Amino acid sequence: MPISRRSFIIAGGVGLAAAGEVIAQTKDPKPDENCPFCKIVAGKLSTFKLWEDRHFLAFLDHKPISPGHTLVIPKQHYPYLFDLPDKQYGEIMSVSKRLAAPIRSAMGSKRIGVLVEGFGVDHSHVHLVPINGSNELTRKGVAGVTDEEFKKVADLLRSAIGRS
């Protein structure tokens, strides 16, 4: 059954009110002790890090869509990408762009697909996914990747990023 215009407007108003609450809560972000990405930033959870600076971190997705699937995160905990202050939003996109070229080259892919959905982990992140055609950005992904395989890909990507 289609949603009525009135219900749509009311739902939109509720969404805007909820968004205001989220923005108010994230102006001074604090690490979330239950967030796996905050644990990675704090060094409490291991990952295959590819690159980092003072504000951002890039590492391999542990459930990759394709080999080389990389996540770029802010080190501060913002639950939703659009909660990021404008400066950090621009910077995470700039970092993603900077990393895309060496990932694309190292993985031999035609393009780097970009995904932002934020439901898997409640911490802003950008997925950089090596792809070679349409319809490859699904969550079916690659199953059963070993630590040895992750290490190989991570080493390859670190080397390519270091050269860029």
CA distance 157 to 103: 6
Low-confidence ranges of the chain (pLDDT < 50): 19, 21-25
CA distance 98 to 104: 11
Query: Is position 125 annotated as part of the catalytic site?
Result: yes
Q: Give me the pLDDT at residue 29, please.
A: 82
The answer to whether residues 11 and 72 touch, using CB atoms and an 8 Å cutoff, is no
Q: Give me the pLDDT at residue 22, please.
A: 47
31-163: which CATH number, 3.30.428.10, 3.10.20.30, 3.30.70.1150, 3.40.1080.10?
A: 3.30.428.10
Domain map (residue ranges) of the chain = 1-30, 31-163
pTM over 0.75: yes
73, 74, 75, 80 alpha-carbon torsion, rounded to 10°: -90
69, 77, 123, 125: the catalytic one is 125
From the number of C-beta atoms within 10 Å of its C-beta (0-12, 13-18, 19+), residue 78 rates as buried
The 8-class DSSP code of residue 59 comes to: E
Pull the structure tokens for residue 28.
């001074």
